[in-house]
Amino acid sequence: METELKGSFTELRKAVFQLNTKDASLLTTAQALLRWHDAHQFCSRSGQPTKKNMAGSKRVCPSNKIIYYPQMAPVVITLVSDGTRCLLARQSSFPKGMYSALAGFCDIGESLEEAVRREVAEEVGLEVERLQYSASQHWPFPNSSLMIACHATVHPGQTEIQVNLKELEAAGWFSHDEVATALRKNNPYTQQQYGTFWLPPKLAIAHQLIKEWVEKPSCSTLPA
C-alpha cells in the first residue's frame, strides 16, 4: 500500500500534527471511538457481549438493556505564572527538549478549581492564588480525555519549585522573551529543535494556552 500510494504509515500521535484542524479533529474522533468500542465489547453488569447501534454512538447489552455511551476523562491543564514568568515542565515520555504546561486527571468528587490547585501543589509544590478558565479540547492519547485549560497565578514571593520526580522529569520558570522566542520556532513533533527547549505543536491546547499567556498580559495578573 505504501508503494502504491507513494506514502508511509506513521504514528497517529505524530500524524495529527501534520493535518489541518478539521482533518485532525475527524481523525482523532474516529480513533477514540474505535478504541472505545474495542474496550467495551462486554457488559460490566452481566458479562454478556454488547452490541453497537448503526451509528456507532452507543453499545447496548441485549440481556438487561443497559446502554453504554462513549466517555471522556476530565483532565486539567494549567499554565502557572508568577506575574512575569510562566512555569513549564516535562515528563520523561515527552520528545527530547519539549516542555509544556502542568496537567493531571480530575479525581472523583473534585471541582475543576480543586483539581487545578491539587495538581499544581502535587507536581511542583506551589500554592495557586487565582485561576481562570481558558478553553477545552478533546485529546485521544492515550485514551479519550477532555482537556480543560486554565491560567493560574501564584504569589511572586512564593515561587520556589519542588519538583515531584515521580510525576515530572523537570520543571522551571521561563521568561516572557524565552517563551515568545520558542513560539516563533518551527517545531514539528518529529524534528529535533534548536536551543534549550521547545513547545507543543499548534494543534495541542497547551500551545494555545502558552500563546495566550504571551499575547495577553492580563493572563499573568488575573483578577481576584
CA distance linking residue 44 with residue 10, whole number of Å: 34
Please state, in angstroms and rounded to a whole number, the distance separating the CA atoms of residues 189 and 107.
Answer: 30
167 and 60, same structural domain? no
C-alpha angle 21-53-45 in degrees, rounded to nearest 5? 110
Residue 220 falls inside a structural domain: no
For cell 502558552, name the residue.
210
pLDDT greater than 60 at residue 186: no
Contacts of 193 (CB under 8 A, 6+ apart): 97, 98, 185, 187
pLDDT at 218: 60
34 & 90 share domain: no
| Coil/strand/helix, residue 13 | helix
Q: Partners of 19 in the beta sheet?
A: none
The identity of residue 150, as a single letter, is C
Within-domain flag for 221: no
- Rounded Cα distance, 150 and 87, in Å: 13
Q: Rounded to 5 degrees, what are φ and ψ at 138?
A: -75, 135
Contact, 151 vs 209, CB < 8 A? yes
In this prediction, residue 221 carries a pLDDT of 55
The domain tally of the chain equals 2
- In terms of domains, do 181 and 85 share one? yes
Contact 58, 69 (CB under 8 A): yes
62 with 77, same domain: the answer is no
Residues 148 and 199 in one domain: yes
pLDDT at 187 over 70: no
Q: Which one of 51, 68, 85 terminates a domain?
A: 68
Residue 190 cell numbers, joined: 518529529
> Whole-prediction pTM value?
0.84
Whether the per-residue pLDDT at 191 is higher than 80: the answer is: no
Of 221 and 49, more confident: 49
* In a shared domain, residues 149 and 97: yes
Q: Which residue has the cell 497517529?
A: 12
- Check residue 219 and give its pLDDT: 62
* Average confidence (pLDDT) over 129-150: 92
Distance CA(217)–CA(146), nearest Å, equals 26
Identify the pLDDT of residue 55. Answer: 87
pLDDT in tens, 78-92: 999 998 999 999 999
- The enclosing domain of 81 has a CATH number of 3.90.79.10
Evaluate whether residue 224 is within a structural domain: no
Please tell me the distance from the alpha carbon of residue 122 to that of residue 81, in angstroms, as a whole number.
16
Instruction: Report the mean per-residue pLDDT for the chain.
Output: 89
Query: Which cell numbers hold the place of 107?
Result: 479525581
Predicted confidence (pLDDT) at residue 12 exceeds the cutoff of 70: yes
The residue segments making up the domain with residue 153 are 73-215
Q: Measure the CA dihedral 83/150/139/61, to 10°.
A: 160
Same domain, 35 and 81: no
- Cell triple for residue 111? 471541582
